[in-house]
Homo-oligomer: A and B are copies of this chain.
Amino acid sequence: MSRIDAMTIGNLAAATATKVETIRWYERVGLLPAPPRTDGNYRSYGDEHLRRLSFIRRSRDLGFTVKKVRELLALADQRDRSCAEVDIIARAHLSEIEQKISDLMRLSNELRDVIDRCGCGSIAECNIIGALSPDGGTTRPKLPIAG
């Protein structure tokens, strides 16, 4: 099996669609272990790093927080353990996302209502501004919102 060891940080970045600065940041916060250095003090990455960074990126793309990724990584390294905990983390994350979706749906419906009522006259009679104002737009302000 070919080992493509000794990647520079730029190579690793290209291989994982990650910015160089992000990789260095992952190292600083302890997500990605510090690799050995070359004589010129360049980071030198191997396959393990590539695998681990890919895992991190995929998890992040799925919306896991860095904190959760840390937990997942810790679990992933304990190969004999039951994956029930992984399942719990993933399900919790899924329900967070579903919650966020329903929040955004409620929000977009409300905003659509607001927009639909806009007759696009002057600001003074604008229903969007009215809907944002304290009384919810049932009456229109006689004065500017603040002086």
Does chain B have a CB within 8 A of A91?
Answer: yes
Does chain B have a CB within 8 A of A143?
Answer: yes
In the complex, A144→B72 CA distance in Å?
A: 12
In the complex, A85→B52 CA distance in Å?
A: 47
In the complex, A86→B33 CA distance in Å?
A: 49
User: Chain A: interface residue count, which band?
Assistant: 35 or more
Q: Taking the full assembly, how many copies of this chain does it contain?
A: 2
Knowing A83-B128, A146-B49, say if A104 contacts B97 (CB, 8 Å).
Answer: yes
Q: Are B94 and A50 in contact (CB under 8 A)?
A: no
Q: A residues near B, CB below 8 A?
A: 32-33, 48-52, 54-55, 58-59, 62-63, 72-73, 75-84, 86-87, 90-91, 93-94, 97-98, 100-101, 104-105, 107-108, 110-112, 114-115, 118, 120-126, 128-129, 131-134, 141, 143-147
